[in-house]
Structure 1
Amino acid sequence: MVRFKNRWLLVEFVDTSTVDASAEKGSLSTRPLDGRLIYNALRDSVVTNFGDTGWGAVGMSLNVKYFSPLTNLCIIRVARDQHRIAWGAVTLLTNIHDVRVIPRVIHVSGTIKHTQLSAIAHNREVIARFRTKLKNTALHHDSYDDYLARSTREIEALHD
């Protein structure tokens, strides 16, 4: 039996159009982004930058496993041998569905467990930043706690 070896990329998409607005509001606005749109943008980036050969190498194993619209955090699975092509395609992304983004690869791992731990820690850091920007933390305390609990359950439920 053959074991498929994967690499897991934890990517944050920094939205450049709401950087100033989010500093004033204290939280990021939700946009119509989802895993499917990110996958399509990655596919287009691979084809544009690495051609059909690059897509042929990456296409069968590339998979967006998780995306959070609040924290813009994404978990991407790709075959170990082709993870550099996927990483390059992520880095070369400039917009997703007409939303200008700056991708930031936070963590690369060979196991989903370490990616999950890193994603949960990153979510806590982002929510802590949101809370410090708010003037009245009591209003959003419950919603952020609920989000952290829900996102932690979703991330821990991911399987290879």
Structure 2
Amino acid sequence: MVRFKNRYVCFEIMLEPSHASDTAQPLVMTNQDILRLVRENVKLNFGDSGAGLILAGMQVKHFNPHTRLGIIKVPRDHIKMVTATLALITRAKKTPCALRVRHTSGTIKKCQKSAIRTDRELILAYHKDANVAQLLRDSESQISALEI
């Protein structure tokens, strides 16, 4: 029996300065929107063969619209293709942006730890109001709830 080997990519969507006037405003995107965005850009940059290679194995495990941080599961053999595609994305739902890879890992547990640490930094930077403690708790519980 063959084991499927995956990598987990923690990424952040950074809005262009002209559209990031209110950084506390959540980005209106779902896991399916992120998946569609990455698949379309893989097809654009690597053609039909590239899209076919990652089509079955890629999955968005988590996306937080408040901090714009997400985790994608990718087949190990195609990790470079996906990280290159993330770096080449310039628009998300007609909004100018850039995607930054924060961490890659072979296990979801290490990616979760990195995402929790990064989420904490981003929440403290973006939100200066009273509900920061609640946002931190919610974010950590959502990331920790990912299946291992």
Provide the C-alpha distance between the structure 1 equivalents of 2:55 and 2:83, rounded to a whole number of angstroms: 13
Task: Find the counterpart in structure 2 of residue 99 from structure 1.
Answer: 95
**1:18 aligned partner, one-letter code:** H
Partner residue of 1:35 out of 28, 31, 35? 31
Matches within 5 A, 1:11-90: 11-16=11-16, 17-19=18-20, 21-22=21-22, 27-90=23-86
CA RMSD of aligned residues (A): 1.3
Contact (CA 8 Å) 1:18, 1:28: kept in 2 or not?
Answer: no
CA contact (8 A) 2:26 2:67 kept: no
Give the match's secondary structure for 2:9: strand
**Larger Cα Rg: Structure 1 or Structure 2?**
1
Offset at residue 2 of structure 1 (A): 2.4
- Aligned AA (2:125): R
Q: 2:140 aligns to what?
A: 152
User: Which amino acid letter does the alignment assign opposite residue 15 of structure 2?
Assistant: D
- Structure 1 vs Structure 2: percent identity of aligned residues? 35
Instruction: Give how far 1:71 is off.
Output: 0.3
Is 1:120 the counterpart of 2:131? The answer is no
Would you say the 8 A contact 1:94–1:102 is kept in 2?
Answer: yes
- Of 32-41 and 69-78, more deviation after overlay is shown by 32-41
Name the TM-score, length of structure 2 as normaliser.
0.93
Runs of 5+ unmatched residues, structure 2: none
Q: Alignment length, in residue pairs?
A: 147
TM-score (norm 1): 0.86
Does residue 3 of structure 2 align to residue 7 of structure 1?
Answer: no
Question: 5+ unaligned residues in a row in structure 1: which ranges?
Answer: 135-139
Higher helix share: 1
Q: Using the TM superposition, give the Cα deviation of residue 124 of structure 1 relative to its aligned residue in structure 2, in angstroms.
A: 1.0
Which ranges of 4 or more aligned residues in structure 1 deviate by more than 3 Å? none
Is this contact kept in 2: 1:35–1:64, CA < 8 A? Answer: yes
Amino acid at match of 2:141: R
The aligned amino acid for 2:111 is T
8 Å contact 1:14–1:101 — kept in the other structure? yes
In structure 2, distance between residues paired with 1:48 and 1:15: 21
Distance in 2 between residues matched to 1:61 and 1:72, nearest whole Å: 23
Residue 64 of structure 1, CA deviation: 0.9
